[in-house]
Structure 1
Amino acid sequence: MKALHFGAGNIGRGFIGKLLADAGISVTFADVNETVVNALIERNEYPVKVVGANCVVEQVTKVTAINSTSPEIVDVIASVDLLTTAVGPTVLNIISKTIADGIELRFANGNQAPLNIIACENMVRGTSQLKEAVFAHLSEATKQQAEQQIGFVDSAVDRIVPPAEAGETDPLAVTVETFSEWIVDQTQFKGDIPNIPGMECTDNLMAFVERKLFTLNTGHLITAYLGVLAGHETIKDSIEDQAIRDDVQAAMQESGEVLIRRYGFDPEAHAAYIQKILGRFANPYLRDEVDRVGRQPIRKLSPQDRLIKPLNGTLEYGLPNQYLLKGIAAAFLYKNDDDPQAVELQTMFTEKGFAETLAHYSELKVDAEVVKLAEQAYIALK
């Protein structure tokens, strides 16, 4: 079995690409980073440091790479059985034309084998959004054939993969935590579902997408924003600050109540899941900087993301949301001149004020009671 994986960054190499290669699948990475691409072509392997109770270095072997801007990538898409991505939400649109061209060539070549595409991104139903972008480039006839032969499989992914360790000189070395979770919508595959240890199938994906979004992502981000305010540099240092830990845990409990109401999760099991997440944040072997986690606050304040979506759930079910509001307020105190979204948020905030800025990005009503409460939380934090 052959796979093409877009994104040879830390998540691509340390998480999805590793699972595929470990399953005996022939993996080609696609990326624009020439240094990484050339090293993968030359070496066909790379080391992954897995850190938890024990630290082990595992070699990922029998891999290669291609520059994702190379014309030859269309030929690769035309011949593989599986296509995965870990490129970030904004890059999905950029690669959609390339994927569409590969599908056109695949059909022109008479390749009738199913192709399954899985976007492994920190977003809700990312593959469905990728499908929409790909189909915008296809002819009507190709769209009809693609509906029969191309599976666009939504997934939920969870693994903390920090940037390269200080002083690391190997461009392919990557560090990951022991925990990983890759859950896919089994109803969306075409043909046989590939047997990939570490890839779990479900027919109720949204329950797991929101469990991860409302717990790991929500907690991670609030830890980062409160950590910045307290002068901490890393997630570990932030979550070991008891005041921050208490606030983060309380926010995760608020979002967890939404999940329990919506999906019937067992309260005790979900409480244990929250504790596991908090333990992961404190992993002493992961240097995960608060600025990395806090980046792109505008995206994270959008209606379908990790702050506003659980907040809307608390409004839907009439649940407490004091600590989620504190996390939203903290986003307005996050300043990072190297992050265009942080700069844009602060610019609009200065011009329009808190309520109008929050309403603009979150799509909450500007005169809603919850917006007033968020502004009160901001004033209290400031």
Structure 2
Amino acid sequence: MKAVHFGAGNIGRGFIGHMLSASDYDVCFVARNPKKISLLQKRQEYPITLANNEQDTTIVNNVTAINVNEQHRVAEEIASADLITTAVGVSALGDIAEPIAKGIYLRMKANNYNPLHIIACENAIGGSTRLKKRIYPFLDEPTRAKAERYISFPNAAVDRIVPAQNHEDPLQVTVEPFYEWVVHRPALLDGFKEIEGVHYVDSLEPYIERKMFTVNTGHCVAAYFGYLAGLKTIRQVMSNTALRAKVRHVMEETGAMLIRKHGFNAETHQKYIDTILGRFANPNLTDQVTRVARSPLRKLSPHDRLVRPAMQASEFGIEIPHLTSAMAAAMLFDDKRDEEAMKLQHFIHEDGLSPFIRERMGIPEEHVLHQHIITCYEELQEHKVPKVLT
């Protein structure tokens, strides 16, 4: 069995590639980094280390790599693959759509009608559906019709913290012990080989929203509050009693919405929050505040981890003072090394707070959250102290 995985970064190697290899897939990474591609081709294996006290290390084998710019080779790999996965970042899905489309065209032209599943393992709701919408405009109508029969795009939720890191071995990657990969079972075609360790569910939305609005919301909130406090790592944020309590309160507010919407057991969800907070505080992981906080425009967009749960909570009549404060904190993220942070500050400076909240966050002026965010922003700005983060 062969899997083609787009993205040989830390998530690709440390999570998705590892699980595919453990399920007896031969994994071909499609990547951009020439050094990593060369090493993967030469060694056909790499080590991953768990961020636990024992520093357990596993060798991932049966792997290779090709350059994404070698589109004909990429297409040939896809034409004979049993599975395609991605971990490139949701904003980069459009960049890989054409190479995948060329592979699908070759596959259908060769009359390879074995089922093919394309799973986007990204921090986004409906990632695979988004990828499909990017791919299909590159296909002609006959190929598209065949693809509808023999190719499926199951949506998925993935969860594993893999911070930025440097090792003497460029292929080595350190990951937290916890992981979760959930796939929408009804989208699977007959003949699919299940991946060991993946949880297949009939209804994916509860799992995606639980993960997005607990893990992703909590992680970025820790970063934005930590940035304003002048802290450098997420672990430092979690060691600060007051900030840790703020992060917990945000997760409890999103949790109240999730419990109301999806019927989660309140006690079970509270334990889930406790687990996530423990993961953030892992003493064996060092994750930079500025890394977790990056791309604030995306994270403040209407359908992402801050605004979406806030609007849903508001619909249920749930008070969210801490999540509102967190959105304001995100609007104050001004790390000069982050392009989106600079754009964010430019938009606010040029257009003003209210237009930004209305146009960029999708919250109308008449909505109760709109003025609350402005109030929180002004309060946080008043107490903000210039900081130098290195």
Q: What TM-score do the two structures reach when normalised by structure 1?
A: 0.98
Following the alignment from structure 1 to structure 2, what is the Cα–Cα distance between the partners of residues 368 and 80? 49
Match of 2:47 in 1: 47
Answer whether contact 1:255 1:313 (CA < 8 A) is retained.
no
Q: Is the 8 A contact 2:115 2:192 kept in 1?
A: no
How far has the Cα of 1:373 moved from its partner? 0.5
Distance 1:338 1:191 in 2: 47
User: Which amino acid is the alignment partner of residue 9 of structure 1?
Assistant: G
* Superposition pairs of residues 146-165 of structure 1, within 5 angstroms: 146-165=147-166
For residue 362 of structure 1, give the secondary structure of its aligned residue in structure 2: coil
Q: Is the 8 A contact 1:186 1:193 kept in 2?
A: no
Separation (CA, whole Å) in 1 of partners of 2:27 and 2:367: 50
User: Alignment length, in residue pairs?
Assistant: 380
1:356 and 1:268 map into 2 onto residues whose CA distance is: 40
For structure 1, list consecutive stretches of 5 or more residues without a partner in the other structure: none
Gaps of 5+ in 2: 382-390
| Alpha-carbon displacement from aligned partner over 1:113-142 (angstroms, at most 9, x marks no partner) | 111000000001000000011111111111
Alpha-carbon separation, structure 2, partners of 1:115 and 1:248: 41
Q: Distance in 1 between matches of 2:199 and 2:69?
A: 32
Shift of 1:53: 4.8
The answer to whether 1:345 aligns with 2:344 is yes
**1-structure distance, mates of 2:239, 2:276:** 13
For the pair 1:290 / 2:280, whether they are aligned, the reply is no
CA distance in 2, matches of 1:245, 1:61: 39
Deviates more, 1:97-106 or 1:359-368: 359-368
Pairs within 5 Å for 1:1-382: 1-70=1-70, 71-165=72-166, 168-382=167-381
Task: Give the distance between the partners of 2:156 and 2:277, measured in 1 at CA.
Answer: 23
Q: Name the amino acid aligned to 1:66.
A: I
Can you list the C-alpha shifts for 1:177-225, whole angstroms capped at 9, x where unaligned? 0000000001111222322222110011000000001100000001000
Q: Which amino acid aligns with 1:342?
A: A
What do you get for the CA RMSD once the two structures are aligned? 0.9
Alignment check: 8 A CA contact 2:231 2:237 kept: yes
**Partner amino acid, structure 2, of 1:211:** R
**Contact persistence 2:48–2:172 (CA under 8 A):** yes
Cα distance per residue 1:300-328 (max 9 Å; x no partner): 01111000011011111000110000110
Where 1:136 maps in the other structure, the secondary structure is helix
Amino acid at match of 1:231: G
Instruction: Report the TM-score, using the length of structure 2 for normalisation.
Output: 0.96
| Conserved? CA contact 1:48–1:174, under 8 Å | yes
Q: 8 Å contact 1:78–1:103 — kept in the other structure? A: yes
Cα distance in 2, alignment partners of residues 216 and 90 from structure 1: 20
Q: Is the 8 Å Cα contact of residues 11 and 86 (structure 1) preserved in structure 2?
A: yes
- Taking a change above 3 Å as real, the CA distance of residues 13 and 287 of structure 1, as seen in their structure-2 partners, is same
What is the CA deviation profile of residues 26-57 of structure 1, one whole-angstrom value per residue up to 9, with x for unaligned ones? 10000011011000000000010111353201
Q: Letter of the 1:232 partner, please give it.
A: L
**Alpha-carbon distance between aligned partners in 2 of 1:65 and 1:34, rounded to the nearest angstrom:** 10
SS at match of 1:4: strand
Asked whether the equivalents of residues 157 and 211 of structure 2 are also in contact (C-alpha less than 8 Å), the reply is yes
CA distance in 1, matches of 2:261, 2:110: 46
Equivalents in 1 of 2:125, 2:355: separation in Å? 26
Contact kept in structure 2, 1:164 and 1:173, CA below 8 Å: no
- Deviation digits for residues 260-282 of structure 1 (CA, Å, limit 9, x no counterpart): 01110000000000000000000
Structure 2 SS opposite 1:3: strand
The amino acid of 1:237's aligned partner reads Q
State the alpha-carbon separation in 2 of the partners of residues 363 and 261 from structure 1.
23
CA distance in 2, matches of 1:185, 1:195: 12
Q: Shift of residue 380 of structure 1?
A: 1.6
- Mapped to 2, the partners of 1:76 and 1:193 lie a distance apart of 18
User: In 1, Cα distance between the equivalents of 2:236 and 2:203?
Assistant: 36
Q: Which amino acid aligns with 1:149?
A: Y
Structure 2: how far apart are the matches of 1:279 and 1:55?
18
Contact 2:50 2:57 in 1 (8 A): yes
Partners of 2:182 and 2:38 in 1: CA distance: 31
Distance in 2, Cα, partners of 1:118 & 1:270: 27
Find the aligned partners of 2:192 and 2:288 in 1 and give their Cα distance: 37
Which residue type is aligned with residue 150 of structure 1?
I
SS in structure 2 of the partner of residue 72 of structure 1: helix
1:84-104 CA deviation, whole Å, 9 max, x = no partner? 000001211111011111001
Residues 228-269 of structure 1: per-residue CA shift (max 9 Å, x gap): 111111111111111111111001000001110111000000
What secondary structure does 1:55 align onto? coil
Query: For 1:134 and 1:191, how far apart are their aligned partners in 2?
Result: 23
* Paired amino acid for 2:375: Q
CA distance in 1, matches of 2:277, 2:160: 13
Rounded to whole Å, the distance in 1 between the matches of 2:286 and 2:192 is: 36
